[in-house]
Amino acid sequence: MDINLPTLIAIIIYLVGMIIIGVMAARMTSNLSDYVLGGRRLGAGVAALSAGASDMSSWLMLGLPGAVYVGGMGEIWLPIGLAVGAYLNWQFVAKPLRVYTEVASDSITVPDYFENRFHDTSKILRVVSAVVILLFFTFYTSSSLVGGAILLENSFGMDYTAALWIGALIIVAYTFFGGFLAASWTDFIQGILMFLALIIIPVVAIQELGGWNETVQKIGSIDTSYLNVYSGASTIGVISLLAWGLGYFGQPHILVRFMGIKSTKDIPKARLIGMTWMVLSLFGAVFVGFAGIAYFSDSPLANSETVFIMFSQVLFNPWVAGFLLAAILSAIMSTVDSQLLVSSSALAQDFYKSIFRKNASKKEEMIVGRIAVLGIAIVAILLGYNPESKVLELVSYAWAGFGAAFGPVIILSLFWKRMTRNGALAGIIVGAVTVIVWAQLSGGIFDLYELAPGFLFGAIAIYIVSLLGKAPSKEVLEQFDSYKEKTKQGL
């Protein structure tokens, strides 16, 4: 495919704008707390769209439409599960976590919170948590970079490897300089762009097909199973798709948005904004894939995950197409910057300062964090070298890993006073190992999405190990009571 100059210029304008925001944010970043958590000064709108955009990686623009393009409305259970999980996370976790992380020695990372919540002086909780973060974020980040390479490869005929490096360099540039504020501000803009693209493309595509009724009739004439939400969906299949919602409780890059919100009073407004954005975006993505079944019926796509890209090119002029394709980059960049940031904080705060340089200055920590961003990005790029990788498959593994390892620990640590350090440790290990092992097995019950058993077994491990061990110390219990009181009062 020949490079379309107007489309390329539009994308470059967008990318330059994102880098400028990163440089501006760098001027407001003076220490690791600013770099990792933005000094806890996110407003409701920025927090909401930042949480949503950092959550919805390239799978929203590529993977989900591609899944619907192949499987029809039987894939609807995935966005339903995600919407329910996200709402429950905003409703029951956001406020308590915002309060507890401040009460627990002003924790700025998830491992930081675990250590301070249970007064763990051994550092084992922090280290194990950091290992889990680095392991699963490597796959997650790699999947997003693969999505970027698919975009550039299909849009401009670029070599896959070159596309992989170019996309990664842009993302690393503004994350490296700006940290959390750069990620959050750019996520806000990227969230708006993603939303508009996911509304515009299905509306225009369905109009081109003659309207909603004509679209449905044409799809039905191709295969009526595309219209059936239960088509090809076994009980295990439906449960697996709905189980994606469990993952929200353990995603570090989403949880830090809750931790960085300015005040708990902003959370209801942020929840309303965030959930409205998410539900409309999810179902926009579904209808992109659904309309694609009819539109491309005469010339089926070789790669199902390019349906959004192809619509951008065939329905709009090159300038508009450029900004619509930039929405895919938005989805990718908004997630990767958050993942790199959490991973770098795990290395700087949870390994470097905690184990090797306990007296490291704030400036030194921030430098290590930025170096970590570069190192992690390079590993993710190398893992993304296989162009045959499917975005949704890579994301599902990482999503399950975090959901199972951290989800039960986060929930029970906020609501169960009797939970112990060893219980938390058992939950993290059992959840992560279950996902790793379960994903290697197949057939029967092992066709169930690994997040569901990982989450269940992790929760059981926490409960049993906590009850078998000694009760938490007086200091831990008093801190829990203080957090509960401040949660009622609000921050």
104-156 pLDDT, tens digit per residue, is 988 878 888 999 999 999 989 988 998 898 888 878 878 878 887 887 787 77
Cα–Cα distance, 326 to 197 (Å, whole number): 9
User: So what's the pLDDT on residue 156?
Assistant: 77
Check if the beta carbon of residue 273 is closer than 8 Å to that of residue 49.
yes
How many beta carbons lie within 10 A of that of residue 457, not counting itself? 19
Cα–Cα distance, 322 to 7 (Å, whole number): 4
- Record the pTM: 0.84
In this predicted structure, the answer to whether residue 24 has a pLDDT above a threshold of 60 is yes
User: So what's the pLDDT on residue 1?
Assistant: 44
pLDDT band, residue 85 (cuts 50/70/90): very high
pLDDT band, residue 86 (cuts 50/70/90): very high
3-state secondary structure of 127: helix
CATH number of 5-392: 1.20.1730.10
User: Which of 144, 184, 145 lies closest to 60 in space, CA to CA?
Assistant: 144
The pLDDT > 70 percentage for the chain reads: 86
Q: Count of H helices and E strands in the chain?
A: 21, 0
E strand residue ranges, 9-160: none
Cα–Cα distance, 253 to 163 (Å, whole number): 25
User: Which of 403, 422, 402 lies closest to 465 in space, CA to CA?
Assistant: 422
pLDDT band, residue 36 (cuts 50/70/90): very low
Polymer length of the chain: 491
Q: Would you put residue 105 in left (φ > 0), alpha (ψ -120 to 50) or beta?
A: left
- Which is more confident, 40 or 400? 400
Average confidence (pLDDT) over 280-301 = 94
Residues 6+ apart with CB under 8 A from 276: none
Terminal-residue alpha carbon distance, the chain:
54
Q: Give the start-to-end residue ranges of the domains of the chain.
A: 5-392
Residues 6+ apart with CB under 8 A from 483: 96, 99, 100, 103, 104
Cα–Cα distance, 34 to 450 (Å, whole number): 35
In this predicted structure, the answer to whether residue 320 has a pLDDT above a threshold of 50 is yes
How many beta carbons lie within 10 A of that of residue 463, not counting itself? 18
In this predicted structure, the answer to whether residue 180 has a pLDDT above a threshold of 70 is no
Beta bridge partners of 42: 261
User: So what's the pLDDT on residue 197?
Assistant: 87
pLDDT band, residue 35 (cuts 50/70/90): very low
Pinpoint the alpha helices (H) of 104-246: 110-117, 124-156, 160-208, 212-222, 235-242
